[in-house]
């Protein structure tokens, strides 16, 4: 009977240690999950900001302004525009 009680006591201690370890691991995992969710929210905010910035930089008026001011480009006069008719089978 003494051996059985000792065995049950050892099993009880092992089970208690397992429960403590499992709870600790669950808490660590939950903290990591929260940190990753916060990081994902931050990345979503940054993604939205970058999309807005990209749309601002890609606006037609902005591109035209940069072309005129920095590249000294201008829209050609209609008499300066030449149209080319290309054949669909390659150059002939």
pLDDT tens digits for range 8-39: 999 999 999 999 999 999 999 999 999 999 99
Domain membership of residue 63 (yes or no) is yes
Domain membership of residue 21 (yes or no) is yes
Number of domains in the chain: 1
For 78, residues 6+ apart whose C-beta sits below 8 A from its C-beta are none
pLDDT recorded at residue 51: 95
Domain membership of residue 78 (yes or no) is no
Domain membership of residue 30 (yes or no) is yes
Report how far residue 75's alpha carbon sits from residue 38's, in angstroms, rounded to the nearest whole number: 49
Residue 33 sits at the vertex; the CA angle it makes with 42 and 14, to the nearest 5 degrees, is: 165
Domain membership of residue 85 (yes or no) is no
Overall residue count recorded for the chain in this entry: 92
Determine the structural domain holding residue 57 and report its residue range.
1-71
Residue with the larger pLDDT of the pair 58 and 43? 43
Domain membership of residue 45 (yes or no) is yes
Task: Answer whether 73's CB lies under 8 Å from 67's CB.
Answer: yes
Domain membership of residue 79 (yes or no) is no
Residue 92 pLDDT > 90: no
Residue with the larger pLDDT of the pair 91 and 77? 77
């Amino acid at each position: 009977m003494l051996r059985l009680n000792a065995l049950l006591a050892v099993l009880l201690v092992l089970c208690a240690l397992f429960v403590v370890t499992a709870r600790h691991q669950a808490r660590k995992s939950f903290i990591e999950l929260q940190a990753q969710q916060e990081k994902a929210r931050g990345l979503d905010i940054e993604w939205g900001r970058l999309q807005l910035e990209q749309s601002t930089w890609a606006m037609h008026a902005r591109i035209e302004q940069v072309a005129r001011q920095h590249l000294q480009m201008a829209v050609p006069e209609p008499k300066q525009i030449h149209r080319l008719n290309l054949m669909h089978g390659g150059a002939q």
